[in-house]
Amino acid sequence: MDKAQIYLAKFDKELSKYPFAVEVETRTKVPKTYIFGGFLALLAVFVFFNIFGELITGLMGFVWPAYQSFKAIEAHDRDLNTQWLTYWTVFGFLNVIEVFSDFLLYWIPFYYAFKAILILYLVLPQFHGAKVVYEKVLEPYLLKKQSVIDADLSKIKAKAAAALGESAKQD
């Protein structure tokens, strides 16, 4: 059995856990691995050529991680909660960077293909990408700047409270 057949068998086993996939296979008489593999390949082509790239990568970064976060919360598993909280911290940080640099990033050829690969790296448990990025990049930076960030947030909070207090007096 060659490697492709081994991966197809693993993919088929994984898809068999989902009644929807089994139902699609039963109704169409087409193996579920071909249907869902073809769909994933089509999404990859779309992202590669930036056809709905922003939408697809946005969904990749939010839908699956949100569902996995829900499952982690319901399981009351500290390790899973830490894993997904780390993901959301890294993902949020990267989204803030993207918002402020989008006018440059969107000129990069195949930007959404690179973004999709990064999201997969962060999400997939085989890589522990969110943990790596957090521990190597975010954690050292945030620990070094924590007191400055906290002081700035306190100032912003005080100014916002003062502004809201003044607007309440005017009403």
The pair of structure tokens assigned to 29 is 């008489």
Band the pLDDT of 164: cuts 50, 70, 90. Answer: confident
Angle of CA points 141, 137, 102, to nearest 5°: 95
Average pLDDT estimate for 30-42: 94
Angle at CA of residue 158, ends 157 and 159, nearest 5°: 90
Q: What's the token pair of residue 28?
A: 């169409």
The residue-averaged pLDDT of 128-140 equals 97
Q: Pull the structure tokens for residue 6.
A: 């081994």
Measured distance CA(69)–CA(72) in Å, rounded: 5
- pLDDT for the residue 140: 97
